[in-house]
Amino acid sequence: MGMAKAIITKLLNRAGIDINGTSPWDIQVHDERFFGKVLRQGSLGLGESYMDGWWDSTHLDQFFERLLRRGVPAVSLLNLQELSWWLKSRLVNLATEEKSVAVAKRHYDLGNDLYAAMLDPSLAYSCGYWKSLSWDSKCLAAAQSAKYNLICRKLGIKAGQKILDIGCGWGGFARFAAANYQVQVVGITISKEQAIGAKEKCQGQPVEILSLDYRKLRHELGPSVHFDHVVSVGMFEHVEPKNYREFMEIAHALLKPEGLFLLHTIGGHGFVPGHDPWMRKYIFPVAQLPRRPQIHRSVEDLFRCRDWHEFGKYYDPTLMAWYERFTQAWPQLKSRYEDREGGRFFRMWQYYLLCCAGAFRSGNLELWQIVYSHPEYHDNYHWIR
């Protein structure tokens, strides 16, 4: 135990984090088993020991910002189990249709009441666009509307067009585009709860919501159906690298030659070639963050890149707004969720939101909006910000 404590203390000190210190980013250790668990299990042990109440930090987001920005490399928190998972991911497709449905049940089907309490009224579960807005939870709805409008403007959407939304969530973009740009939208999701919520919210609008895996799109819609534009927001993170080419081929086949395809996704970089092991176990099973080279390879000979817009800094205020709304709503949510994960749901969700906020604030994670066209697209494309 003494050696484990010395090693973990040294690693944290490199990031300016003290054990039982007085700064808001320092950690307070309540159980000495914390040190051995983190040394053995890396980031998985860090998250699980927090869920178990073995340690706290006054500002968990600042703890992670410092951890990731100020000198603790990802390899310091790796372990053999994580390396084994990565090797398996290189050999086996971890995002089959069956496993993708399991992801939806594990996370997106938790309960629409949880997401309604945490998210803005449109139920946008992706980064808002905070340009010209105060980074304040009161502006969350405005930031999400600004994101929807930015997408529509980048695509050059015109009244009467037909849009495909791959991974439509609760239908927020579909409703916005239909109401503000007078278009028809077909949205797909594999989440049962999302589909129910989206259909309810989209009633009376020219929006069709399909409970469908993206791999069945061409078969379901038929060879004669094409869309003026295709959009996918916050779904590509679940596709898995072995499926990137198929995903792009489907978007390519369904997009009209003169249309545009916008991909909105979180992107990763650094040493760890997958997703955080704690995040995979408790939040997003089998998820992996794409890298720029992987995306470039997947679109080769299919699309030309017209715009690559990085605004990951805006995920920080988005996540902090979600965290504020979640904690404020917890007294109403508690009776339904407090017994999940062995009574650790609140601390699990708190850890999830704040570690992600710190990761984006540190620059360890990025957020990309990429606009693609068919190679034969001849219009001059103008960047929209």
Smallest CA-to-CA distance from 196 within 166, 169, 167, 234 is with 169
By residue count, the chain amounts to: 385
Q: Which residue pairs, CB below 8 angstroms and at least 24 apart, start in 345-351?
A: 347/50, 347/51, 347/53, 348/51, 348/282, 350/60, 350/323, 350/326, 351/47, 351/50, 351/51, 351/60, 351/278
Of residues 139, 168, 355, 356, which has the active-site annotation? 356
Of 289, 287, 285, nearest to 273 (Cα)?
289
The C-alpha atoms of residue 273 and residue 41 are separated, in whole angstroms, by: 17
Within 13 A of 339's CA, how many CA atoms are on the CB side? 2
User: Could you give the 3-state DSSP secondary structure of residue 256?
Assistant: strand
Nearest-5° Cα angle at 197, 131 to 263 = 40
Handedness of CA 122, 124, 130, 135 (dihedral sign): positive
The 10 Å Cβ neighbour count of residue 249 is 14
Active-site annotation holds for 127: no
Q: Please name which of 379, 313, 335, 346 lies closest in space to residue 128, comparing C-alpha atoms.
A: 313
Question: Which residues have CB under 8 Å from 13's CB, separation 6+?
Answer: none
Q: Write out the catalytic residue numbers.
A: 356
